[in-house]
Amino acid sequence: MNNSYNEEFETLRNINAEAAKDLEQALNQLAWHPEHFRLGTMGLCNVGKSTTLNALISDVNNATFASDVIPTTKCLQRYFHEGIELMDTPGFDANSEDDAIAFEGLKHCDVLLLVHPLTTGELDAVLLGALKKLSAGEPRPLADRLIAVWTCAGEVSLQEEPDLAKKLTEQLRNATNGSPPQVSVDNVTYMKALRHNKLQLMAHSGIPTLMDMIQKMQASNSRVYEAREARRCHQLKQCLAIIEKISSTLQQEREAHRQAILRAIQGPLDALAAYQLSVASLATRAKS
């Protein structure tokens, strides 16, 4: 934001600090909208978000997006690959600051990859809360731009765990207001198959299926841009509502100032009126 904007916002802060902060955040969100396709990951810490992104770009060394036992993604990590901006986000169960960074990035993605390891069972309360929070700010169902990516498929198969599959589908439906596509992947198997050029094993890993899902979403430009414009219109309405709030506050303050001035000068006015009556009375007596 340039210096003139800073000066204008300083004036607004003097009028209504809370509304000025909300307006500044809303305008910053509008500046997020790019021309390119943006894909972001979401999930808890250490569930395979970074590794999944590395698999999607065939980085067998896991070097592009940091991946470790200790949470390493503390900010929004971005990487452009074949016309797509890939975004890695901090895990939701670290701290409130990381959560805020993750939400800020995810709100502006065209497609979200919900990454969750099947070895941990159903979605926990933290992740469900994050999904519901994102859904609450969506003008359209969150399910329209989300793909559920179940990692550790080499250890747990949903075909062998029908109860878990049913529960996950139910949780997604309730949290995203729809039925987003789901895919089970095994990042480790894919990376090994890629190193040794084992095509059948690559296909078995589920990563090629995920790639196809993303490409189909990217290809459906009308749907992507309709969703993006819906979010943009929603944010514009938020900006207008905040501006109206500031305007209303200013009008109220002006009226309050006017009333205060009237009250302040009422005493002198009364005294002047009394003086005028006194002078008039003296004049009348002088004549008589």
**CB-CB contact of 111 with 143 (8 Å):** no
Q: What is the pLDDT of residue 277?
A: 76
pLDDT score of 265 more than 50: yes
Domain limits, the chain: 32-219
Indicate the pTM of the whole model: 0.69
pLDDT tens digits along 126-180: 999 999 999 987 778 899 899 999 999 989 999 889 999 999 999 999 999 999 9
pLDDT tens digits along 99-134: 988 998 898 888 999 999 999 999 999 999 999 999
Task: For residue 196, report the phi and psi dihedrals to the nearest 5 degrees.
Answer: -105, 10
Laid out side by side, the sheet with 37-42 consists of: 77-81, 84-88, 37-42, 111-117, 146-151, 182-184
In sequence order, what are the residues at sequence separation of 6 or more whose Cβ sits closer than 8 angstroms to the Cβ of residue 22?
238, 242
Count, residues in the chain: 288
pLDDT tens digits along 15-36: 667 766 666 666 655 555 556 7
pLDDT score of 273 more than 80: no
In sequence order, what are the residues at sequence separation of 6 or more whose Cβ sits closer than 8 angstroms to the Cβ of residue 23?
9, 12, 239, 242, 243, 246
Bridge partners of 77, per DSSP, are 88
Best-predicted range by mean pLDDT (65-74, 200-209, 257-266) = 200-209
**Cα angle at 232 between 227 and 233, to 5 degrees?**
100
Name the pLDDT band for 222 (thresholds 50, 70, 90). Answer: low
Count other C-beta atoms under 10 Å from residue 145's C-beta: 24
pLDDT score of 4 more than 90: no
Q: How far is CA 8 from the centre of its chain?
A: 25
As a CATH number, domain 32-219 is 3.40.50.300
pLDDT score of 220 more than 80: no
Q: How distant, in Å, are the alpha carbons of 36, 145, 148, 159 from that of 179?
A: 26, 11, 10, 18
| Cα–Cα distance measured from residue 66 to residue 141, given in angstroms and rounded to the nearest whole number | 31
